[in-house]
Amino acid sequence: MAKQPNQEPEAPARPTLQVDDSCADARYANFCRVISTPEELIVDFGLNPQPMGAPTSPVQISDRIVINFFTAKRLLHALNVSIQRHEAVFGPLELDVQKRVKN
């Protein structure tokens, strides 16, 4: 079939990525720490039993994810899009705990 003069070329079909999450563990974290090296980011997740004020006991790290900077940038974009969608529906997320607490 001949291409029409003002017709856009069709983009190649993008393959669908299949994901198997049957072995994934779900955990809750209210603490996150990011450490970097020149090649990668190390992201630690844990549970801070005392999220208000200075903790008196160490925060237990339960999971550590090591990713390269390219994957980190894709994660940053995905998280940004997700937070923008959430805030569009539910309003801004206030990070200052003192501003969220109602007397």
Q: What's the rounded Cα separation, in Å, for the pair 68 and 33? A: 16
3-state helix, strand and coil shares in percent for the chain, rounded to the nearest 5 = 25, 20, 50
C-beta separation of 40 from 66 below 8 A: yes
pLDDT, position 17: 87
**Domains of the chain, residue spans:** 31-94
Give the pLDDT confidence of 43-71 residue by residue, as tens digits: 999 998 887 777 788 899 999 999 999 99
- For the full predicted model, state whether its pTM sits above 0.75: no
